[in-house]
Amino acid sequence: MPVPSLEPARGDTGAGPTQPDPVPNRVIVIGAGVAGMSAAIEARAAGAQVVLLERDADTVGGAANQAALMLFSGSTEEAAAGIEDSPEQLLAEWPAITGGDVSDEWVQRFANANIPEVHDWLAGLGLGWGPPVLDPSGGDTPRIHMISGGGAELVDVLHAQLPPEVIWMGVEALGLEQDATGRVTGVQWRDVETDEVGTVRGRGVVVATGGFGWNLDRVREARPDLEGVVLTRASWSGADGNGLEMLTGLGAATQNLAAVGLYAHASRCPSDATVEMRVPFQFAVPWVDPAGQRFVDESAMNDLRTAEAVVDHQAAWMVFDTNTLTGAFTCDDGADARMSYTITDMVDDGFAARGDSLDALGQTIDVDSSALSASIEAYDRAVYAGEGDTFRSSVQNAQPVDEPPYFAMPVAVSVAKMFGGVDVDIRGRVLAVDGRVIPGLYAAGELTGMAGGSLVGDAGFTGSLSAVVLGGRVAGEHAARDRIARYGGVLK
């Protein structure tokens, strides 16, 4: 069998487990999202020969192409803005933000490493950030950093570090190969355009296939309390959970699968109730639950807890009047279809309700009419007085609801990202349900609940891309180094 070149061409299958090992340093990474590309860069830096499989034929970067925000605690941007922050400060706030356990080694690692191993590393590759801002799911310190150029710039910066021959585009991993000892030795793949199949072998495999938010059935399995709650999709179509099934099929343990990142930042699209419909004034109007009561700060748009409150109350309606209407509403199915609806379309399709009085509106949406009227009257009083009320921290941009006809639209509960996943140790090695390491197998990114499997308790946080980069780097480095330590090999 010929010894493959340093960067194997597609179709090179490496050696079988019983043959002499011609690829002593090969690390195979599955998924060219931010986690997978970070792992590939790090594995190469540690001397490994890397093959990165990406099933999308044209695009790398996965979900991050649509992202923007990263969390850092103690950055130069914070210092320049006069914000005091540190790993200790983040750890002190961590239980309140996420319910996470600060004695967990991944929580410690993330707090201490997000500056040197993520911020400074990326800055060294050419990435920059704007001034940090306060975010309801980022703690009490303004530490959420907008990437200059957005998530697509992060993707470009990482992509630029990888020679083209490293990434096998349009190649889907179908399964993992194990030897008789249980060591993961290779990846079975399929070319998505030609249907050609093969196996690429190495001694370390990093799985970084992303979360499972697109798979609403799997989400409901992880969160039985979402039964009966209409869910929309705010993740991306690649987040189908195939890597989670692949690894649990090999006996991998999972942690915190119920820590699903939900947002209440849209309504539902009439053509497909799983598609989000943006409502420009959603955060400026009151929301009521099925009992006609307000229950949450409607202005907290990026707060993951807002959607959890909607789930607790089973459903919510945003209520507004004719003065608030601002043209058509737009749905975006995440691909190429954009659909536009007037309020009349929405009412006709049953995705909005109209009433000439609040009483009539309440009857149409099956909400207690007298409670609804009382809630809206109290809200209007607070808006006209210019004061905060029981629920809303500020009425600054709030719209009064007092000019008939009145309207109501359901607040969607949108599945965005996963903060639980496959359990890995502090080196990124996948742990089996009995606690043992599955040899040769590593995982990173949203597949591991952003990093480590155990970063959060029951709630997510904003800016988790920082953890995705860290988890990718850790898994890539250890997949390369563990291999070299175990088998020797040729370091670059």
Query: Which spans of this chain sit near ligand FAD (rule: CB under 6 A)?
Result: 30-36, 53-56, 62-64, 66-69, 172-173, 208-210, 235-236, 238-239, 242-243, 417, 445-447, 463-465, 468
Nearer to ligand FAD, 129 or 287 (CB): 129
φ, ψ of residue 72 to 5 degrees: the values are -135, 145
How far is 118 from 212, CA to CA, in rounded Å? 24
Smallest distance from ligand FAD to CB 211, Å: 6
Q: Assess contact for 265 and 282: CB atoms under 8 A.
A: yes
Nearer to ligand FAD, 113 or 173 (CB): 173
Nearer to ligand FAD, 236 or 406 (CB): 236
Smallest distance from ligand FAD to CB 374, Å: 37
Nearer to ligand FAD, 138 or 292 (CB): 138
Radius of gyration in angstroms for the set of CA atoms belonging to the chain, rounded to a whole number: 25
DSSP characters over 341-390: E-HHHHHHTTSSEEESSHHHHHHHHT--HHHHHHHHHHHHHHHHHT---S
Smallest distance from ligand FAD to CB 447, Å: 6
Nearer to ligand FAD, 159 or 486 (CB): 159
Helix axes 105-113, 465-487, angle to 10 degrees: 110
Nearer to ligand FAD, 286 or 428 (CB): 428
Q: Assess contact for 75 and 132: CB atoms under 8 A.
A: yes
Nearer to ligand FAD, 62 or 74 (CB): 62
DSSP characters over 97-160: HH---TTSHHHHHHHHHIIIIIIHHHHHHT--B---B--TTS-SS--EEEBTTHHHHHHHHHHT
Nearer to ligand FAD, 29 or 382 (CB): 29
- The DSSP output letter for 275 is E
Report the candidate in 342, 369, 341 with the shortest Cα–Cα distance to residue 355.
369
Smallest distance from ligand FAD to CB 41, Å: 13
Three-state DSSP state, 65: helix
Residue 310, amino acid:
V
How far is 433 from 444, CA to CA, in rounded Å? 18
Smallest distance from ligand FAD to CB 121, Å: 16
Smallest distance from ligand FAD to CB 117, Å: 16
Q: Assess contact for 72 and 117: CB atoms under 8 A.
A: no
Smallest distance from ligand FAD to CB 173, Å: 4
Nearer to ligand FAD, 354 or 417 (CB): 417
What's the number of CA atoms in the CB half-sphere (13 Å) around residue 476?
Answer: 31
Q: Assess contact for 164 and 74: CB atoms under 8 A.
A: no
Helix axes 465-487, 34-45, angle to 10 degrees: 40
Report the candidate in 492, 481, 491 with the shortest Cα–Cα distance to residue 204.
481
Cα 90 to its chain centre, rounded Å, is 20
Smallest distance from ligand FAD to CB 141, Å: 17
Smallest distance from ligand FAD to CB 443, Å: 10
Smallest distance from ligand FAD to CB 421, Å: 9
Nearer to ligand FAD, 157 or 173 (CB): 173
Cα 475 to its chain centre, rounded Å, is 19
